[in-house]
Amino acid sequence: MAWFKKTKKPLASSTAEKPSRVPEGLMVKCPGCGQVIYNKDLEKNLAVCPKCAHHFRIGAAERLASLFDAGRWTEHFPDLTSNDPLKFTDTKPYRDRLRSSIKSTGLKDAVIIATGRLDGLDVVIAAMEYSFIGGSMGVVVGEKITRAIEIAVDRRQPVIIVSCSGGARMMEGALSLMQMAKVSAALARLDRAKLPYISVLTDPTTGGVTASFAMLGDLNIAEPKALIGFAGPRVIEQTIRQKLPEGFQRSEFLVDHGMIDLVIDRRELKAALARALRFMRAQPAPVEAGTPDAEILVVAGAVEPERQN
């Protein structure tokens, strides 16, 4: 007597019947306030949330495009690559990590060296790429930044380094740690040449990068709420067996304690860098000996007036 039985079909969910019309990757949710933002709107706002000003992490190329006039620059030393000097292997060979990072980022290592104009000023900028093995500093990163500083000395131009790094690259061992001294020595030559160096610290800037060139700027600028430190907060808590203060190792905490000079919103960074460089008189107009401007100290890296009789 099965003729009167009715086969029941499960009710299909409304979601299944009406799939979302929003294409995947069109919007992103802000981790700071939960606001849903269109990617195009976020890009126009330099990857800063328009509601809570949360700073999303951006790549080195996007960073350079936001700083150089008309987004134009000349890249230097793009083909330098690591040769895996230690033949290092952990869960997989270091060579494989390099290949996959090169393929995914289109870069040969974790920094881009570029020259161009920032608000009309000729500058040399080194921008680190976090998506390349955590922006770690190996022999190539150290070599490229050192060469960038040498370009600046030769051309009498200021240097800006935008740090975004997990620190020294463990796969290259002591050779990576040597880059801390190498870049610091190059910055000492830049200082002797009376040329400005501005360090921009973004989220995150940690380890050997913080312990060397990231904190050596004539002016140290950080983005809001950037994680900046040597060891991570969890490691410190486990070592000292104490709870760390709220906001510890964030840029606002560091500026309050005199570790950095300024915290500046990314949307205002280019203008702030231009003002700072002009204040340092990195590229003044030529002046004649005997005029008031000619008496400016050479320490500003501006002019070298003729000696008065």
Q: Per residue in 204-243, is it b (16+ CB within 10 Å) or e — as a string?
A: bbbbbbbbbbbbbbbbbbbbbbbbbbeebeeeeeeeeeee
Give residue limits of the domains in the chain: 58-300
Q: Are strands 159-165 and 27-29 parallel, antiparallel or unpaired?
A: unpaired
Instruction: Tell me the two tokens of residue 198.
Output: 């501005």
Q: Are strands 27-29 and 36-38 parallel, antiparallel or unpaired?
A: antiparallel
How far is Cα 140 from Cα 144, in angstroms, rounded to an integer?
A: 6
pLDDT tens for the chain, 309 residues: list them. Answer: 555 566 666 655 554 445 545 566 799 999 999 999 999 999 999 999 999 999 999 999 999 999 999 999 999 999 999 999 999 999 999 999 999 999 999 999 999 999 999 999 999 999 999 999 999 999 999 999 999 999 999 999 999 999 999 999 999 999 999 999 999 999 999 999 999 999 999 999 999 999 999 999 999 999 999 999 999 888 899 999 999 999 999 999 999 999 999 999 999 999 999 999 999 974 444 445 554 443 333 333 333 333 343
C-alpha pair distances (Å), 261 with each of 197, 219, 222, 264: 13, 6, 8, 10
Helix (H) or strand (E) holding 183: helix 173-192
Question: The dihedral of CA 88, 204, 186, 110: what is its sign?
Answer: positive
- Stated pTM of the model: 0.83
On whether the CB atoms of residues 257 and 251 are closer than 8 A, the answer is no
- List beta partners, residue 111: 128
What is 124-181 written as a DSSP string? EEEEE-TTTGGG-B-HHHHHHHHHHHHHHHHHT--EEEEEEE--B-GGGHHHHHHHHH
pLDDT computed for residue 284 by the predictor: 47
On whether the CB atoms of residues 124 and 164 are closer than 8 A, the answer is no
pLDDT computed for residue 301 by the predictor: 35
Q: What architecture (CATH level 2) is domain 58-300?
A: Alpha-Beta Complex (3.90)
pLDDT computed for residue 115 by the predictor: 98
- Report how far Cα 259 is from the mean position of its chain's Cα atoms: 18
On whether the CB atoms of residues 138 and 297 are closer than 8 A, the answer is no
**159-165 β-sheet, strand order:** 74-76, 111-118, 121-128, 159-165, 197-205, 219-222, 262-263
